[in-house]
């Protein structure tokens, strides 16, 4: 299998099962070396800005899919983000290099100005390859973890009485507070109502997962949570995630973010989460300090690389 010839081509719908199997197999084989999961790949297929026939390329060899690369266009900020993976038996530079070159051609067609790739810090081979292709390191993100069994999380209704769950039909409010909260931050591409609706309607998700901090009728902050079914081997509970946490610029410095975070943790614990994870930009000192104060600790780190396009 390792010596089979291969071709790089556009994704076809009939490739789906082979692609899902590749991701599951590769991630299970080398745990902790990939920033992509089977969940990520499958959920992207329904994303409003994702067009697999144009933006997903596979490496095929011996009648099997041995690698893939996805191009996620975020053209409001003139960039594309690449996610790629190759089976451990086919992780030679030739396969990955050809996949990346194919994706860069697509990025130029989309008139993007830069290409970004996120790589786990322990994946030394991939990091060296990035440098050889002309990518440069620009940002470090932290993956933080909190075991909820290690501390008491107060009831969310006592934390901030003005916190409530998002209701069906209020998705536009989430779009507004999210885009206001993250405007101008590194790597944030403004969300559309269509994208927000897509995320909320994913399997296992609901408006109930999103906690809004309000002042009167105004939404001034939010905590977007998610629970992934499947028991964590350490805490014996499901795995929870803080997907996003934001506060309106007009209300920062008043403790709204901490209250929204604690309300989110309370909700996750009440729904069976034993451990909670989140990702944060290491240069966002305010957010890092908030998460440390809540008991989060660094689990892994990932590195963002950039290649400018002419």
Asked whether 273 and 230 are in contact (CB, 8 A), the reply is no
Q: Using 50 as the pLDDT threshold, list the residues of the chain that sit under it.
A: 1-2, 4, 31-34
Tens of pLDDT, residues 236-290: 678 999 999 999 999 999 999 999 999 999 999 999 999 999 999 999 999 999 9
Q: Measure the CA–CA gap between 223 and 262, rounded to whole angstroms.
A: 9
Fill in the DSSP letter of residue 35: S
Q: What is the pLDDT of residue 126?
A: 83
Q: What is the pLDDT of residue 4?
A: 47
This prediction's pTM:
0.88
Q: Which fold has domain 6-134?
A: Aminopeptidase (3.40.630)
Q: If residue 149 lies in a helix (H) or strand (E), which one and from where to where?
A: none
- Reading the block at residue 274, the tokens are 């034993």
Cβ neighbors of 11 (< 8 A, separation 6 or more) are 19, 52, 53, 56, 57, 58, 68
Asked whether 219 and 176 are in contact (CB, 8 A), the reply is yes
Fill in the DSSP letter of residue 37: -
| CA dihedral for 134, 69, 8, 79, sign (positive or negative) | negative
Q: What is the pLDDT of residue 232?
A: 57
Residues facing residue 81 across a β-bridge = 72, 116
Q: What is the pLDDT of residue 33?
A: 43
Dihedral of CA atoms 284, 198, 211, 74 in degrees, nearest 10, equals 20
Asked whether 135 and 97 are in contact (CB, 8 A), the reply is no
| Residue 283 φ/ψ, nearest 5 degrees | -90, -5
Q: Which fold has domain 144-301?
A: Aminopeptidase (3.40.630)
Cα–Cα nearest to 291, from 141, 121, 112, 135: 141
Q: Measure the CA–CA gap between 20 and 283, rounded to whole angstroms.
A: 34
Question: Per-domain residue ranges for the chain?
Answer: 6-134, 144-301
Q: Measure the CA–CA gap between 267 and 211, rounded to whole angstroms.
A: 9
Calculate the alpha carbon distances from 197 to 158, 173, 194, 222 in Å. 29, 12, 5, 16
- Same CATH fold assignment for domains 6-134 and 144-301: yes
Tens of pLDDT, residues 69-87: 999 999 999 999 999 888 8
């Amino acid at each position: 299998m390792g010596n089979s010839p291969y071709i790089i081509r556009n994704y076809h719908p009939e490739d789906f099962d082979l692609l899902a199997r590749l991701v599951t197999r590769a991630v299970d084989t080398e745990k902790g070396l990939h920033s992509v999961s089977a969940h990520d790949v499958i959920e992207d297929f329904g994303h409003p800005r994702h067009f697999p026939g144009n933006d997903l390329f596979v490496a095929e060899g011996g009648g099997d899919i041995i690698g893939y690369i996805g191009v996620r266009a975020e053209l409001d900020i003139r960039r594309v983000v690449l996610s790629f993976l190759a089976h451990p038996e086919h992780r030679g530079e030739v396969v990955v290099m050809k996949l990346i070159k194919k994706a860069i051609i697509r990025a130029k067609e989309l008139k993007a100005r830069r290409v970004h790739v996120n790589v786990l810090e322990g994946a030394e081979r991939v990091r060296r390859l990035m440098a050889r292709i002309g990518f440069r390191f620009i940002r470090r993100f932290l993956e933080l973890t909190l075991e909820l069994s290690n501390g008491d999380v107060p009831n969310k209704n006592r934390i901030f009485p003005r916190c409530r769950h998002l209701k069906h039909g209020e998705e536009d409010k989430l779009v507004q507070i999210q885009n206001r909260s993250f405007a101008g931050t590194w790597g944030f591409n403004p969300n559309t109502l269509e994208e927000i609706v897509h995320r909320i309607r994913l399997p296992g998700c609901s408006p109930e997962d999103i906690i809004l901090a309000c002042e009167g009728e105004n939404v001034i902050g939010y905590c977007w949570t998610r629970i992934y079914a499947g028991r964590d081997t350490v805490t014996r509970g499901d795995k929870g995630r803080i997907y996003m946490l934001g506060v309106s610029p007009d209300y920062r410095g008043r403790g709204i973010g901490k209250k929204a975070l604690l309300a989110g943790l309370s909700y996750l614990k009440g729904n069976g989460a034993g451990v909670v994870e989140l990702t944060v930009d290491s240069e966002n000192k305010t957010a890092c300090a908030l998460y440390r104060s809540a008991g989060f600790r660094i689990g892994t780190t990932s590195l963002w690389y950039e290649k400018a396009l002419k």
